[in-house]
Chain A
Amino acid sequence: MKWPAFAYARANSLEEAFALKRAAGADAKWIAGGQSLLVSLAYRLQAPGALIDISRIAALHGVAEAGAGLRIGAATTHAKLGADALIGARAPLLAQAAPLIAHAAIRNRGTLGGNIAYADPASELPACLVALGATIVAASPRGERRIAAADFFVGLFETALAEDEIIVAVETPAPPAGSAIDEIARRPGDYAMAGLAAAFDIESGRLAHARLVFFGVGGAPVHAVRASTALTLHGVAAAQAALAGDLAPQGDHQASGDMKLHLARVLTRRVAQAALGPGSLAA
């Protein structure tokens, strides 16, 4: 199909973006990398009157140290997430997530801000941000506000963002001692049937303070609180058992709900094993 006709304007600053938005009205949408938005236009699932391109706004660019963590501009592409040295050192979970997102061509255009604004429940980055305890920085004509990642992802393709807000950046806290991401997809690059982003400490050969956040198993990233606690207190088997209380996945045509729960358990073991080293779980 062809896109429905729309007006297009590129904003060079946040102020200009807000002015354009005010002029264009409620059916104007921000466009960043276009990798999700343009697909939905091609299917004519939506027909915005105007697209306001925010991908060149300077305030959305750049990766910088902020306190013990990082401030990562919303316009940072997935490819950059995977390649940036600072991110690799201070938020390695995001760097590890990047190659799991789609394919190279999409990673070259798709952005962190667009990805989390779109809030696909099978998306890697939202789960990573929840696992890291990151903060989303949003700007609007009313000013800037900070939203904890755990509060940001409200449901299926739904976020705490107001319609006229722009995600400017993501702030990550001091990196956890350990983090890992793994997922199970039909083919490399596909959205996962189930995935797990985890942050943890390692204390005397055990995982501690684990935050296990699953994706592809609910409407939004699911912080598996019971399993996270069980992993710390009782180990992997207990965490796997506890997952039944944390997750109630709906099936899709690739995987039933029961299968997603099964895969979540497999991922829990794999992530724990990878963190602790081979043979660690044999006992």
Chain B
Amino acid sequence: MSAPRTPESLGLSRADLPNSYIGRSVPRPTARKLVEGRATYTDDVSLPRMLHAVFVRSPHAHARIASIDVARAAAAPGVVRVFTGADLAKVCDPWVATLAHLKGMKSAPQYALPLERATWQGEAVVAIVADTVAHGEDAAALVEIDWAPLPALADIETALSPETPVLHAELGDNLVFTRTADTGGVDEAFANAAHVVEATFVSGRHTGVTLEPRSILADFNRAEGMLTVWHSTQAPHMMQGVFAKQLRLPESDVRVITRDVGGSFGVKVHVYPDEMAVAAMARVLGRPVKFVADRFESFVSDIHARDHRIKGRIAVDADGRILGFDIDDLTGIGPYSVYPRTSAIEGNQVVNLCGGPYDFKHYRCTTTVVLQNKTPTCQYRAVGHPIATAVTEGLVDLAAERLGLDPIELRRRNLIRDDAYPFTSPPGMRFEGLSHHAALDKLVAMVEPEKLRAEQAALRARGVYRGLGFASFIELTNPSPFMYGIGGARISAQDGCTVRMDPDGSVVAMSGVTEQGQGTEAILAQIVAHGVGVPVERVKIVTGDTRVTPYGGGTWACRGAGIGGEAALQSAVALREQLISVAAAILQAAPETLDVAMGEIVDRASGSSRMPLAELGRLVYFRGDTLPKDAPREFVQTRHFITKDYPFAFTNGVQASWLEVDVETGLVRLLKHWVVEDCGRIVNPKLVDEQVRGGVVQGIGGALYEQCVYDAEGQLRTTTMADYLVPLAADMPDIAVGHVETPTRESLLGAKGAGEAGTAGAPAAVMNAINDALRPFGAKLFAQPFTPERILTALGRVAPR
């Protein structure tokens, strides 16, 4: 027991152990309840005396609230109370979303409901609490607001020019944050380079579109002094702290319960003013108040993301070695930075990640983050990655074209060597171990580019235009406190797991990470079963209750397996050792001669059974009198885990897209997509593959379909699923997934994140494939989404707008 634990000693790479669940596609235990409609989403929770919140939302992108008359609404049938910003400010404090390590960042205080001005179309302004949603909506139509419209800040290019009005006077200007990473020597490198190519990229503003909309049910029990919140969130503990602080309650008097969550993608890890209003109203009324966003509300109030314009240049020498990248990123985030993660992280990630897969010397990248009168933006699946990857890979393909080199060959010449680690990138990202070349080799073997090139040439002769595009990428996972904690945010980078054995020999594990539909509970069960030595069916997982689970950060930035999984493994292994030590005392055997396998104490050498765990449970829980006096009686262990050596565990991968562009209609038909990624140790291959596939589809959404379209007055034009187009399953290509496994040495489990890899690389691969298809026409596109109109415009077949 005193020998140090290693992945080998735990049998992590051995599939021959009977309960070796790590690396196996164990079916997820939650799947059946989801498909049978027996899940418990927040809207499925109904409480006695429950009321419903309905919001009156601003029809203007920017307008002063001259007056609000709620008299008619308050008198409408079923209405219990109507709240304005001033009413809620008495019980709910405003927040300011900045992080100390993002130097110079500023943002204005945001209230649950605004006091004087609405600053985006769709901002909740008045709240109605009624017995039914329908009654609330009837009353909402009776609220009279006298609006004085103000000029809307819609264009990011002019946000900082002196003639543009300042959105929040107290901030002085519309600049939220700017940062430049500069290795020095960039101008010189570009001046002397054999080739410099450049392009201006646009990443379209889009949003998460979770199947289950944002949902919250808050209840304040005056008798207990407790606020209990059922919340569709990724981060129950963080929200516990936020509710407590903003509503001036002790943290211990707030409990957040998160049952099933129908997708989150980053949308549900933020503090939303309408949700804070619900908690505040429950606090005032002493009754449960529920709010479930409808789709229209989701489009105008869920965070948006990726609204960037990026100018990029790449310098290469005559042999195709990359000398440097020079990048200027501009992004608009809406009227407020979103609490508590802030809306500057996405731009900051662009600075951290551009050029990421490559070994080069000179780097300069600036992000400029400005205010707008549009829905606030914040972290959405693969924060900043798809943007940085599109810019990097778009430039690399342009360089290959200029050099007359095959894009694969140019990548081979420049990707960081697989034996070069540890490696620090020009913007200062530290890589423990990546596998770009192995991944590319594997991808090329899967894609068989020569065959496709032959097909492409043959079809071009017949007027059919197919294209093949590649994109290497890195992905930031397993974040340490360097992401948020050091900036002062109470966002936990560590996570914990408590594992206990009950008398029947079954195991319950309580984890601080959360299940959003991605299968976290499945991998936790596998890891715990493996670590303790029981059949996976004997493990029950509890997540999403701040009163029950160890304190943790929840689900974000790809950390469920890498952080939560490691805490689970360590606590499970500790429980196994505890089981062995008690069993050894009972069996009068040396602990090193015993092991736990498939729910039995076994003889380590022969594997023969010594005692079922149920018998051990019976003895300890019911016949403690028969045990030696000083024998330990705890069958419960808790471990917490945090990464310490590296701020982030980077992963890597490469994608390829094969598609056809109809040059008459501008429609793109996706024919096939490939991904090879390296997320370290794979706990459940099927779940990882499906994460990758889902991520690819979400990336394709941004590349081809999804866009929050605003007009010049800041009005959102895409507020239904008929206008905001998401990728449909029938239009998606087959997505082949391959893996390289480079486990992180920071943990026993060795797992890194896998949830964002697909999204990080897909848009760039699709972009490069479209440009490859259009090469005979000399047309190039760098503005996402690549809509038919943009493609036809690039082809010169329709006039630009």
Contact = CB atoms under 8 A, between A and B. Distances in A.
A191 B718 CA distance: 14
Nearest to A191: B722
Contact of B664 (A2, A187, A266): A266
Contacts of A142: none
B665 A188 contact: no
Interface stretch (A14-22, A147-155, A251-259): A251-259
B667 to A, nearest CB: 7
A44 B789 contact: no
B26 interface: no
Interface in B784-801: 787-789, 792, 797-799, 801
B801 A262 contact: no
Given A253-B709, A262-B792, A262-B798, A186 B296 contact: no
Nearest to B52: A2
Interface string A216-259: 00000000000000000000000000000000000101111011
Contacts of B294: 1
B426 to A, nearest CB: 39
B137 interface: yes
A255 B788 contact: yes
Given A188-B730, A190-B725, A2 B709 contact: no
Contacts of B138: 4-5
A139 interface: no
B296 A187 contact: no
A122 to B, nearest CB: 10
A4 B720 CA distance: 19
Contacts of B728: 187-189
Contact of B799 (A2, A190, A258, A266): A258
B431 interface: no
B723 interface: yes
B705 interface: yes
Interface in A1-57: 1-5, 43-44
Contacts of A253: 709, 717-718, 723
Contact of A44 (B137, B725, B730): B137
B712 interface: no
A72 interface: no
Given A44-B137, A253-B723, A254-B789, A262 B797 contact: yes
Interface string A251-273: 10111101100110010000000
B134 interface: yes
B705 A187 contact: yes
Given A2-B137, A3-B134, A266-B664, A256 B730 contact: no
**Residue among A189, A191, A254 with max Cβ neighbours from chain B (10 Å):** A254
Nearest to A261: B798
B665 A263 contact: yes
A188 B798 contact: no
B705 A186 contact: yes
A166 interface: no
A184 interface: yes
B1 interface: no
B141 interface: yes
B36 interface: no
A95 B471 CA distance: 44
A193 interface: yes
Given A187-B705, A191-B722, A254-B787, A2 B133 contact: yes
B419 interface: no
Nearest to B664: A266
Contact of B801 (A193, A256, A263): A256
Interface in B716-756: 717-718, 720, 722-723, 725, 728, 730-731
A184 B667 contact: yes
A21 B133 CA distance: 29
Contacts of A186: 667, 705, 725, 787-788
A259 B718 CA distance: 20
Overall SS of chain B's interface? loop
A1 B54 CA distance: 9
A2 B134 contact: yes
A259 B730 CA distance: 26
A167 to B, nearest CB: 24
Contacts of A3: 134
Contacts of A255: 788-789
Given A2-B133, A187-B731, A258 B798 contact: yes
Nearest to A194: B665
Contacts of B667: 184, 186
B296 to A, nearest CB: 7
A43 B299 CA distance: 14
Nearest to A186: B725
A132 B144 CA distance: 50
B779 to A, nearest CB: 15
A3 B133 CA distance: 10
Interface in B245-286: none
Nearest to A260: B798
Interface string B489-507: 0000000000000000000
B190 to A, nearest CB: 37
Contacts of A2: 132-134, 137
A262 B667 CA distance: 13
A193 B788 CA distance: 10
A191 to B, nearest CB: 7
A17 B705 CA distance: 44
Contacts of B718: 253
A259 B137 contact: no
Nearest to B138: A4
Contacts of A254: 787-789
A188 to B, nearest CB: 7
Contacts of B720: 43
Contact of A1 (B137, B723, B792): B137
Interface in B105-150: 132-134, 137-138, 141
Interface in A173-192: 184, 186-191
Nearest to B797: A262
Nearest to A263: B665
**Residue among A3, A187, A193, A255 with max Cβ neighbours from chain B (10 Å):** A187
Nearest to B136: A2
A43 B133 CA distance: 14
Contacts of A44: 137, 141
Contacts of B133: 2
Interface string B650-678: 00000000000000110100000000000
B766 to A, nearest CB: 15
Contact of B665 (A190, A258, A266): A266
Contacts of A184: 665, 667, 788
Contacts of B723: 253
Contact of B722 (A190, A193, A259, A263): A190
Contacts of B296: 1, 43
B799 A256 contact: yes
Given A44-B137, A184-B665, A266-B665, A256 B798 contact: yes
Nearest to B717: A253
Interface string B522-566: 000000000000000000000000000000000000000000000
Interface string B628-664: 0000000000000000000000000000000000001
Interface in B676-712: 705, 709
Contacts of A259: 788-789, 792, 798
Given A187-B705, A187-B725, A254-B788, 19 more contacts: A1-B296, A3-B134, A43-B296, A44-B137, A44-B141, A184-B665, A184-B667, A186-B667, A187-B731, A189-B728, A190-B722, A190-B725, A191-B722, A253-B717, A254-B789, A256-B799, A259-B788, A259-B792, A266-B664
16 contacts: A1-B294, A2-B132, A3-B134, A4-B134, A5-B134, A184-B665, A186-B705, A187-B731, A188-B730, A189-B728, A253-B718, A253-B723, A255-B788, A258-B799, A259-B788, A259-B798
For the complex of A and B, the 8 pairs showing the least CB-CB separation, nearest first, are A2-B134, A259-B798, A258-B799, A266-B664, A253-B709, A258-B798, A262-B798, A184-B665
